[in-house]
Amino acid sequence: MFGNSPTSTIFLKLCLIVLSPIIVHLSKPNHPPRASPFIQSNGQAAPVAVGSTRTFDLGKFKVLVLTPMSERPSEGWPVLLFIHGGGYLLGNAETGISFFSRACVGCAGTPYPAAIDDCWNAFEWLRGTGKEELGLDIRVRGCGRSVVGGTLSAVIAQRASLASPRIPLVLQILIVPGTDMTFTVDDKSKWTPSMLEYQNVWALRALDMLWLRDHYLPNVEDRAKPDASPLLQEDDKAYEGLAPALVIVTEFDILKSEGIMYAEKMRERGVTVTLKEVKGLSHLGLSADHVCEISRAVRAEEIDYLKKAFSK
């Protein structure tokens, strides 16, 4: 079912043992849980060395800033606002960190619109105080990362395009993003093809995804708003000057159709889009770069895309 990649299959078996008993009895946590050390040690590769690590407390949330070991360019560091995943409830900056990130914001556990507000405030902080304190070149900036991080990155990119004056970005990286929050448990006729086909794939089951959505968006009327569901954005100005996008989806993921539909919609509106479907992996597969060569190859492509965008 998950393709013929042996390393992908190993990762799936490891995660199934650890996660299945937890997900079946999922209840709202009293605090944001950290990622399992077992999953980190057997799925994700170890972080690479960085030049510096600094944490800035912005009141309602913290920003974790990583800078490379190399010397700062004379014009300042290019900056990527890295937004971690976790279904709006799980994880933190440390568990979602990536070795090419520059600034990572965590915003788990509070209802809409807290996550998008926190991410936008972090974005604005980078453009202001952060620019001066960190020595950033804010002419070269992007946002991105996976699942909810991809959703929020899409919203940030739209909001930057709608700003007056428009705030230019050089890229948006959307990894297995959810782009439509309006689906319901009772009416499967409106589910996407991938939701229907892969609704019981353990990595992210449809009902678990909707459970997470319900905690972040308890008010039904909020779910169709563009800053919750970027796929439903119809304002032409949101797509004018929208940053080029790298959209990556995985074959056996309930969110695959949403990622593809948003990529196609951006293309129709004139946005430069690179869309990649990774065969043989489920929702969590791209995090398995410690055990899966497919994940490592995709990560390398992602880094290459980032380097090219930052070098223009």
How far apart, in whole angstroms, are the C-alpha atoms of residue 236 and residue 113?
23
Q: Which residues contact 153 (CB under 8 A, 6 or more apart)?
A: 81, 83, 143, 144, 145, 172, 173, 174, 177
61 CB neighbour count, 10 Å cutoff: 21
In the chain, beta strands by DSSP E: 52-57, 62-67, 77-83, 103-105, 136-146, 171-175, 245-252, 273-282
Sheet containing 136-146, strands listed edge to edge, beginning at the edge strand earlier in sequence: 52-57, 62-67, 103-105, 77-83, 136-146, 171-175, 245-252, 273-282
How far apart, in whole angstroms, are the C-alpha atoms of residue 271 and residue 4?
34
Is 283 annotated as catalytic?
yes
Q: Which of 180, 282, 283, 289 is catalytic?
A: 283
H or E stretch covering 92: none
Is 253 annotated as catalytic?
yes
How far apart, in whole angstroms, are the C-alpha atoms of residue 280 and residue 45?
19
Q: Which of 5, 146, 161, 194 is catalytic?
A: 146
Q: Where are the alpha helices (DSSP H) in 185-292?
A: 193-197, 206-216, 236-239, 256-268
How far apart, in whole angstroms, are the C-alpha atoms of residue 170 and residue 297?
23
H or E stretch covering 98: none
Is 146 annotated as catalytic?
yes
Find out whether 3 and 250 touch, Cβ atoms under 8 Å: no
Tokens of 155: 């919203």
Find out whether 270 and 239 touch, Cβ atoms under 8 Å: yes
Q: Which of 253, 282, 287, 289 is catalytic?
A: 253
Q: Which residues are catalytic?
A: 146, 253, 283
